[in-house]
Amino acid sequence: MNDFYIILTGILVAVSCSILGTFLVLRKMAMVGDAISHAVLPGIVLSFFITGSRESIWMLIGAGLMGVFTTLIIEWLHKKTKLQEDASIGVTFTFLFALGVLLISYFAENIDLDQECVLYGEIAYVPLNTIMLFGLELPKAIVMLAVVLILITAVIFFFYKEWVITTFDAPYAASIGMSTVLWNYILMSMVSFTTVASFESVGAILVVAFLVVPASAAYLITDSLPKTLFFAVLFGIISSVAGYYSASILDVSISGAMATAAGIIFIICFILQWIQKQIHTSPSILQAEEQDV
């Protein structure tokens, strides 16, 4: 049963991150996802101090606010000071993450959080911390991750066309009356929730890997958005399962093995795409194309 819970945790994180990651990659904001996943740390620590509890709901709210705040700072630095966007991202999230690390280490004795856990997580401990729900004893992390996944899926599904249009052509979306700013902040809030819900179990580094890698791999080999989303989710799930079993065979870090599996899938997709390109640009096909046109 423990194996199952650990794999399920990995899958829940992977699916949430892959869905959001697809939109981040298409919006050329993958690094903003990276930034948010680190910058939420002081938000979590502060909400812990303010409420005195590690109840997930307060952490989600604290992190959600922090995620939007991070996005605001990055945009403000980029627009007002003419600092390049990548530099703005680098400055903002390292500063906020460091602030979070300082807060944790300063209050180390009376806080139930540690820096190692934030970076690497401890997915193997997921089955230990349980909660009673509908008469079932379920790991807390799984309940929280399932809620986040349902939330994300609903928001993406019900507003699918809004996501498509604000991602593909923001000025056009604005011209038909959609608030591109609002949709952007909703996306950033969802990235923040997912990060917080995930990192306790899998750590910030695996969250970043799941946000960027499966979506990028899917992007390489697909030509329509539903397919990109489908393959991103599929690659996320495969990475979790393959990562878990290879970790237990090789006796290595589970999070590390999952991230590595995602990387290997990306390489395979890259090679597939390269082969496909070679076939497409071969002379015989090119002639056929010309006749077609």
Partner 1 sequence: MIEHVADPILEIHDLTVSYSKRPVLWNIDLTLPQGVLAGIIGPNGAGKSTLIKTAMGLIPKASGYVKLFNKDLEEVRKKVSYVPQRESVDWDFPASALDVVLMGRYGHVGIFKSLRQADKEVALDCLRKVGMEAFADRQISQLSGGQQQRVFLARALAQDADLYFMDEPFAGVDASTEKTIIALLKEMTAKGKTIIVVHHDLNSADEYFDWILLLNTRLVASGPTEKVFTKELLQKTYGGKLNILSSVGDLLHNEQFPNRE
Residues that bind partner 1 in the complex, under the rule CB under 8 A: 26, 28, 158-162, 164-165, 167-169, 171-172, 174-177, 219, 222-225, 227-228
Query: Which CB sits closer to partner 1, 114 or 169?
Result: 169
Give the H or E element holding residue 133.
Answer: strand 130-133
Query: Contact, 228 vs 222, CB < 8 A?
Result: yes
Length of the chain: 293
Query: Contact, 178 vs 166, CB < 8 A?
Result: yes
Query: Which CB sits closer to partner 1, 143 or 225?
Result: 225
Alpha-carbon separation of residue 94 from 34, 142, 175, 257, 261 (angstroms): 11, 29, 36, 25, 27
Query: Contact, 39 vs 96, CB < 8 A?
Result: yes
Shortest Cβ 208–partner 1 spacing (Å): 22
Cα separation, 62 vs 77, whole angstroms: 22
Shortest Cβ 190–partner 1 spacing (Å): 18
Query: Which CB sits closer to partner 1, 167 or 239?
Result: 167
Query: Which CB sits closer to partner 1, 107 or 158?
Result: 158
Shortest Cβ 152–partner 1 spacing (Å): 17
Shortest Cβ 67–partner 1 spacing (Å): 24
Query: Which CB sits closer to partner 1, 50 or 154?
Result: 154
- Residue 129's closest CA among 116, 140, 115? 140
Shortest Cβ 71–partner 1 spacing (Å): 20
